[in-house]
Structure 1
Amino acid sequence: MFKKLLAMTFVTAMLFCSPKGTYAATENYQIDRTALDKGVITVRAAQPADVKTIVRISKGNDNYDYNLVNGAQYPLQRGNGTYSVLVAQLMSDNKYKVVSKESVELNLVNENAVFVQSIPLINWNSNTKAVVQATKLTNAAMTDMEKTAAIYSYITQSIRYDFAKAQSVQADYIPDLDSIYESSKGICYDYAAMFAAMARSQNIPTRLVMGYEASAPTTYHAWNQIYLNGQWVTIDTTYDATFVQNGQETPMIKNPADYTITQVY
């Protein structure tokens, strides 16, 4: 229900150019491990680059690419182990030059800690309007399931699908949660990012997931997984909003077999 976004998909088209084992002075880019116990790192640039710069975080065969935002938190969401953090600058077309590379060892007691953090794709804080709304919605809730249901009901009732945006969204689009909240409309990426931010703000581990849904197997889609009662369950507020707003019933928790995952955040 949206275009494959540049930050998630140019990984296969990107060509890195650098002599094996040699990189530009790493002091230009520092990896801040202060919040490593939460499953995130920060990449800091000594000076703002005048060219497009990306951060690639890899573990095994999994690669995740992000546009470098100085001071932003980047997740290590593929579990404990050794990650490679690579910084590369655009040379031309899809060719990037590696300027820094480091290894980071993750050893979390609770590997779900990363899924309650603010990251570039799910950018929130206590003043984010949807987060303020989540606090109000869950004020009387006693359990994570009750909090989840309150957030789910709000989004499926209040946010309408933006068909025009789905046709015009740019490849490097990242949701602006305040804009989505104010306009009360968005694409699947917006629904999933808002749900994740609202649930994470209540300290409920929540993933933003991308891939394909069985009823539209060729259409790239975004939805959520949320950790409830000791297991990850699947929630799709985008599809459900259509049912809810048309007065039709639909279960909040979906069959995971109906979804094919390509990326997890």
Structure 2
Amino acid sequence: MCILLLTSCGDATSISVPSAGAPSSEQSDLLGALQIGATSSPQDTGRTETPSRESAAPQESTAPPAPTATPNPTPPPTPEPTPFVPLRDNTPYCPSPVASGTVTYGNDVTTIDASNLAQGYIMANYTGTCPKVKLQIIGPDSHTSTYNLNASEFQAFPLTAGDGSYTVTVNENIQGKDYIVSYEVSLDVALDDPFSPYLSPSSYVQYNADTSAVELAAELCETAASDLDCVSAVYNYIIENIEYDYDLASQITSGALSSYIADIDATLADGKGICLDYAALMACMLRTQRIPTRLEVGYASLSYHAWVSVYLTDVGWVNGIVKFDGSSWSLMDPTFAASNSEEELKEFIGDGSNYTVRYIY
């Protein structure tokens, strides 16, 4: 047997060892030295070994292999929460009528801005000295709508009779209930959208993007799956949170009602109002949810009254705010719903014949 001996200088020396028989004392000493060199560290021998460029063949280990650690499985990623997607768009819609000045008519005290006829409205102002001025719009259906025109600032007035020829007159009071026409103009109207007059602010339904009712409507309709759900949510909120103001109602005659302008945010903050307050609040909230809504003024039986009608896709115009029992429509308006029992309400409203419309705003 031949054993490779490493010396301190790194030279390799071969030593022959007999393969059989008992080793001599010299060989035993040499084998002992080899064993020490193979199993001891440099500290054991008192010397520092310099490794050789050549190495002995590795000896096979008889020790059992160390167990291999099983890596921890990578946890599955945490799923992202599914974002809430509303079933209908409840983003407030708040167009702002403007007097663009592109097309105007008038005289020294009256200006009619007809720049936005296609959007369903005109703007008008009066700068004269007469304290009582009425603006009238006669539509192609021959229906006349009457408004107060007393402020020097421009006011918006809707064109509610669709396409066709309109006549606009400005009337100054001379005494009592007598008026004279101070200005008149004819306008040919072709609407871009037949519903635009019922989706915008106007003289009787005044609001803008900062009106509190606009944000409230968006909150109420956030989970609505349809326009009908939105109508129901707004309707239920109004009849549950707004009380009828009997004191104010006792002060308002039919003549005064025609000149009464609802303060939508005041109605919401005070929690009370008369019929025009109810109707204007509901019209604002539904219009800003893209639901065409008419504010209508007329007679409920013998009482001068205001209510709303809405347009629902696949249903059409529903006259008087509606209650749907799953199979049929019932006429209802928010004022009576808030101040009467259901039995009295249905008995009064009947099939709607008790309602007579005079003005549509």
Relative to the length of structure 1, the TM-score reads 0.80
Q: What per-residue deviation string (whole Å, max 9, x for no partner) do you get for residues 87-133 of structure 1? A: 12222222223221111111114322101111111111111122221
Q: Does 1:131 align with 2:211?
A: no
Which residue identity is paired with 1:204? I
Specify the alignment match of 1:160 in structure 2. Answer: 243
Structure 1 residue 66 and structure 2 residue 147: aligned?
Answer: yes
Superposition deviation, residue 262 in structure 1: 2.2
Q: Which residue of 1 aligns with 2:309?
A: 225
Structure 1 Cα separation of the partners of residues 310 and 165 of structure 2: 25
1:38 and 1:117 in contact (8 A); partners too: no
Name the CA distance, whole Å, in 1 between partners of 2:248 and 2:345: 26
The answer to whether the 8 A contact 1:121-1:174 is kept is yes
Q: Give me the whole-angstrom Cα distance separating, in 1, the residues matched to 2:228 and 2:303.
A: 30
Q: Give the Cα–Cα distance (whole angstroms) in 1 for the partners of residues 340 and 221 of structure 2.
A: 23
> Quick one: structure 1 residues 44 and 165, their matched pair in 2 at CA, closer, same or farther if it must change by over 3 Å?
closer
What per-residue deviation string (whole Å, max 9, x for no partner) do you get for residues 159-212 of structure 1?
011111110126132111121111101111111111111101111100111223
Contact 1:91–1:97 (CA under 8 A) maintained in structure 2: yes
> Which residue in the other structure is 1:15 paired with?
none
- Equivalent positions of 1:70-89 (< 5 A) are 70-89=153-172
Aligned residue for 2:137?
57
Assess if the C-alpha contact under 8 Å between 1:162 and 1:187 holds in 2.
yes
For structure 1, list consecutive stretches of 5 or more residues without a partner in the other structure. 1-24
Aligned to 1:12: none
CA distance in 1, matches of 2:345, 2:276: 23
Q: 5+ residue gaps in structure 2? A: 1-105, 322-332
CA distance in 1 between counterparts of 2:234 and 2:309 reads 14
* C-alpha contact 1:156 1:238 (8 A) present in aligned 2: yes
Once the 2 structures are TM-superposed, how far is the Cα of residue 223 of structure 1 from its aligned partner?
1.2
TM-score (norm 2): 0.60
Runs (4 or more) in structure 1 with deviation over 4 Å come to: none
- Give the corresponding residue for 1:237: 334
Matched position secondary structure for 1:111 = coil
Task: Give the equivalent residue in structure 2 for 1:207.
Answer: 294
- Give the structure with the higher percent helix: 1
Instruction: Give the Cα separation in 2 of the matches to 1:34 and 1:256.
Output: 38
Deviations 1:123-171 (A, max 9, x none): 1111112222112111222321111111111101100111111101261
Structure ranking higher in strand proportion: 1
Output the CA distance in 1 between the equivalents of 2:193 and 2:122: 16
By how many angstroms is 1:86 displaced?
Answer: 0.8
Q: In the TM superposition, what is the alpha-carbon distance from 1:243 to its structure 2 partner? A: 5.1
What code does the residue aligned with 2:357 have? I
**Which of the two has higher C-alpha Rg?**
2
Deviation at 1:238, TM superposition (A): 0.9
Q: Alignment identity in percent?
A: 33
CA contact (8 A) 1:162 1:185 kept: yes
Considering Cα pairs closer than 8 Å and 6+ residues apart, tell me whether 1 or 2 has the greater RCO. 1
1:259 partnered with 2:355: yes
Indicate conservation of the 8 Å contact 1:75/1:119, yes or no. yes
With over 3 angstroms needed to count, the CA separation of the structure-2 counterparts of 1:49 and 1:136, relative to structure 1, is farther
Give the structure 1 partner of residue 123 of structure 2.
42
1:173 aligns with 2:260: yes
Structure 1 letter corresponding to 2:196: A
- AA partner of residue 339 (structure 2): T
Letter in 2 for 1:239: F
What's the counterpart of residue 10 of structure 1? none
Equivalence for 1:31: 112
* 8 Å Cα contact 1:56/1:87 also seen in 2: yes
Q: Distance in 2 between matches of 1:112 and 1:183?
A: 31
Are the equivalent residues in 1 in contact too, given 2:170–2:181 (CA < 8 A)?
A: yes
